[in-house]
Chain A
């Protein structure tokens, strides 16, 4: 009996603590509940948002979801290429695997769709196919691509009955031009001036 009464206070305090922490945790679980898997958002942010469907999913977010649920491989994004696969691999803690060759070939050059306007018959099929609403034009009138909105997903090419849509590389201008990466050890700098001690 004495033993019991000695331990009673310890048991009671433990029970009280358990109840307290249980209440706090329960409250926190409701108050700070995360509605959506945040990993999906992170994955979605890594994908290039071309919405081309070459991964076999109807858009980038569905693919992000399926990566998050581990129902698809991380190497399906063709427009993203190896860079995107590396980024996803880092995020998911997986090993890098090269781009699935079945899905297509990755090109580093950004592309844009261009309609040969004198050949366009105004069928609006490309307008309906464009996931970006980047093609402008009404029925029986010539259509055109809003280049700044085009992601170069080439979903408009197949529906065109007269094959008047070309996917061309974005022309380099002074604005989107980039410096070439230096070639590294053993190379002499190209057109850049050397910065040498010119005594």
Chain B
């Protein structure tokens, strides 16, 4: 029944160092005082915390929900109280803290109610997948890809092989080895579930030949099934997913592709075990088998550790000699990384904690120049050109590195293991890979930015065009209105309706607004000129010209408006005059006319005087002529003044008469008051004259007249009063 197996290119044979930890059975790990559960223990989007500080939780309770298809929930690994949800040191090589839910253990380790499925075959496949997803199961081999996603291949995918990866090729690690020895039945149960889910043509278990006990156990467990256990020769890195597929099937996963592309699904031993626990026992993933090994550890072996157990607590539990502890490595010596902080928790992918003494794993040696020996090329299991990749990475020529399939590097470290110059090749590749990713992200971002910018430009342009169109439409409408008005201007005069007023008023408003807008445009242009000047623009001349033009336009518009207003006022006056009652005209006219003539005459006089002054003495004839003119004008002006005075007096008298007719008492009273005033005035003048000793004869006459007038007025008033009293 020997089955053909293939070989992979390259590979190395580092010392196994497995016997230190695989001699003892699996022991239960400690229940630490605090468990620290990172919300991201898998590839994909981080889970979202679903509890709050202070909440009591039971073992197996969901504390963070999956947030997408490629995501996994996190469960409380022991019972207790949530004491913090905060960033804590986690297992990330960046040493950047990640958000964690911290549970203070109550020591009871009390499970939430769990209910396994009686017979999963009775359920829908999607229901079983949901069970796996909700149990938070991720790949336990190292990468931590959500298992439910991996088990939901596209419906048209024809899965030929299901492979259980039990190779565990990395030195020191024995977690899969011991779990197969002790829990083979359960692993096979889990594998059967996967088998039922993906329905492969054949199911294979690949185990390295350095685990004879595990092979025996698995063979026993699969005795009556169609699952085949295949023993592969020990070689690092046979346990890589792509490498194992190649060994067992001879098929190569295409560059950039997935095993599903060639009809293969590959799962880790620990994952199969976790699936069994989840489906058949209703237990979510809250613990895992972790190898505790290295010379500083007293009780080396495999522990079933609660997820979130701080590394320090686990080391303490394994009697670690902290004094001798130099570096602590999470994962194996080939692919793991040193952790910076002992409070880092054990997570779903932590298969090994290596705590070597300094003698066991000395400090890395100094990097030396590449001697182009080509050993790395011989060791590479992915058939890459490590030396070329090294040069490209070193000179940051990432495009060429990518062209040389840098992304297909599995970072197994075989090349660095064989390098005689101690070049940390994997470090170069990781750096280059990350840069390639960052660059492509940046390119994507800049494309996105370009798109946004161009969209914005287009939008602004569109807005501008719309505005322009609106402005044009408005201007057109205004022009039409104006034309209509102009056409209607002649008609309203003839029209008998009240439109005449409106028509008369409207052109004026239009002119006014035209004038105002012209002025505004001119002012705006001036402002623009000023800003341009401040900014030092070279278009000053053009702007100045424009200002000139606008100014003349504005002036014209203003003039037109003023003339129009004058005309409108005059016509309004005419109308008013013609409409006014005749009587009023008769009453008002003479005086106004006289007044006007008087003003005109006076103005003529002034003009003549001015002309005379200006003429000066240069021309005697002209002066004489002008003097005569001035005199004539003066005479005329005096005459008209006198006429006006007379007219005014007459008017006043008439008004008084009118009033007297209306109210005799009041009129008499006014006359009396006036007479009294006049008399008093004269008396005062008289007194002043007497004091000065002037000629009083002329005044005496007027005084007598005034006295007589006063007396008359007095008697008139009295009689008027009597008359009204009588009435």
User: With contacts A151-B449, A178-B434, A179-B434 known, is A172 near B96, CB below 8 A?
Assistant: yes
> In whole angstroms, what is the CA distance A176 to B441 when docked?
10
Within 8 A of A (CB), among B400-450: 413, 416-417, 422, 424, 426-428, 430-431, 434-435, 438, 442-443, 445-450
Main secondary structure of the interface of A (DSSP, over half): loop
> In whole angstroms, what is the CA distance A199 to B438 when docked?
38
Least CB distance, A122 to chain B, in whole angstroms? 21
What residues of A have a CB within 8 angstroms of the CB of B240 in the complex? none
User: With contacts A133-B456, A178-B434, A179-B430 known, is A188 near B333, CB below 8 A?
Assistant: no
A182 contacts B by Cβ under 8 Å: yes
Interface-centre pick from B17, B365, B416, B449 (highest chain A CB count, 10 A): B449
Within 8 A of A (CB), among B440-481: 442-443, 445-450, 452-453, 455-457
Least CB distance, B602 to chain A, in whole angstroms? 64
Within 8 A of A (CB), among B471-497: none
B14 contacts A by Cβ under 8 Å: yes
- CB pair B424–A194 under 8 Å, yes or no, is yes
- CB pair B338–A192 under 8 Å, yes or no, is yes
Residue from A133, A183, A185, A198 in contact with B360 in the complex, judged by beta carbons closer than 8 Å? A198
Interface-centre pick from B94, B98, B360 (highest chain A CB count, 10 A): B94
Contact with B along A181-194 (1 / 0, CB 8 A): 11111111101111
B629 contacts A by Cβ under 8 Å: no
Contact-residue size bin, chain B (C-beta under 8 Å from the other chain): 35 or more
Residue from B17, B336, B368, B427 in contact with A179 in the complex, judged by beta carbons closer than 8 Å? B427
- CB pair A180–B431 under 8 Å, yes or no, is yes
- CB pair A132–B365 under 8 Å, yes or no, is no
Within 8 A of A (CB), among B1-40: 14-15, 17, 40
Nearest opposing residue in chain B for A110, CB measure: B442
User: With contacts A49-B446, A49-B449 known, is A194 near B340, CB below 8 A?
Assistant: no
Least CB distance, A136 to chain B, in whole angstroms? 13
What residues of B have a CB within 8 angstroms of the CB of A45 in the complex? 443
- CB pair B427–A132 under 8 Å, yes or no, is no
- CB pair A194–B171 under 8 Å, yes or no, is no
Within 8 A of B (CB), among A164-183: 172-174, 176-183
Nearest opposing residue in chain A for B426, CB measure: A195
> In whole angstroms, what is the CA distance A59 to B94 when docked?
36
- CB pair B337–A196 under 8 Å, yes or no, is no
Contact with A along B347-376 (1 / 0, CB 8 A): 000000000000011111111110000000
Least CB distance, B170 to chain A, in whole angstroms? 11
User: With contacts A189-B427, A192-B427 known, is A177 near B365, CB below 8 A?
Assistant: no
Contact with A along B325-351 (1 / 0, CB 8 A): 001010001101110100000000000
- CB pair A178–B435 under 8 Å, yes or no, is yes
A197 contacts B by Cβ under 8 Å: yes
> In whole angstroms, what is the CA distance A47 to B40 when docked?
35
Contact-residue size bin, chain A (C-beta under 8 Å from the other chain): 35 or more
> In whole angstroms, what is the CA distance A177 to B441 when docked?
13
User: With contacts A131-B453, A182-B367 known, is A198 near B333, CB below 8 A?
Assistant: yes
Nearest opposing residue in chain B for A199, CB measure: B15
Interface-centre pick from B396, B442, B445 (highest chain A CB count, 10 A): B445
- CB pair A194–B434 under 8 Å, yes or no, is no
> In whole angstroms, what is the CA distance A133 to B463 when docked?
15
Least CB distance, B455 to chain A, in whole angstroms? 8
- CB pair B449–A194 under 8 Å, yes or no, is no
- CB pair A194–B337 under 8 Å, yes or no, is no
What residues of B have a CB within 8 angstroms of the CB of A181 in the complex? 396, 431
What residues of B have a CB within 8 angstroms of the CB of A193 in the complex? 327, 329, 333, 336-338, 361, 364
Contact with A along B678-692 (1 / 0, CB 8 A): 000000000000000
User: With contacts A131-B453, A149-B452, A185-B367 known, is A197 near B417, CB below 8 A?
Assistant: yes
Residue from A149, A182, A199 in contact with B431 in the complex, judged by beta carbons closer than 8 Å? A182
A144 contacts B by Cβ under 8 Å: no
What residues of B have a CB within 8 angstroms of the CB of A192 in the complex? 337-338, 364, 424, 426-427
A124 contacts B by Cβ under 8 Å: no
Within 8 A of A (CB), among B253-296: none
Residue from B329, B447, B453 in contact with A59 in the complex, judged by beta carbons closer than 8 Å? B453
What residues of A have a CB within 8 angstroms of the CB of B445 in the complex? 49, 151
A60 contacts B by Cβ under 8 Å: yes
A154 contacts B by Cβ under 8 Å: no
Least CB distance, B395 to chain A, in whole angstroms? 11
Contact with B along A8-44 (1 / 0, CB 8 A): 0000000000000000000000000000000000001
A48 contacts B by Cβ under 8 Å: yes
- CB pair B413–A49 under 8 Å, yes or no, is no
Nearest opposing residue in chain A for B95, CB measure: A191
Residue from A61, A151, A177, A191 in contact with B340 in the complex, judged by beta carbons closer than 8 Å? A191
Nearest opposing residue in chain B for A149, CB measure: B452
Least CB distance, B191 to chain A, in whole angstroms? 32
What are the 6 A-B residue pairs with the smallest beta carbon separation, nearest first? Answer: A194-B364, A49-B446, A177-B94, A49-B449, A195-B416, A195-B413
A-B contacts, 12 of them at CB < 8 A, read A49-B449, A49-B453, A172-B96, A179-B427, A179-B431, A182-B431, A185-B369, A188-B363, A188-B366, A189-B427, A193-B337, A193-B361
Q: A188-B366, A194-B424 are in contact. List 14 more A-B contacts (CB 8 A).
A: A47-B446, A134-B452, A151-B449, A174-B92, A174-B96, A177-B92, A177-B94, A182-B394, A185-B369, A191-B340, A192-B337, A192-B427, A194-B363, A196-B422
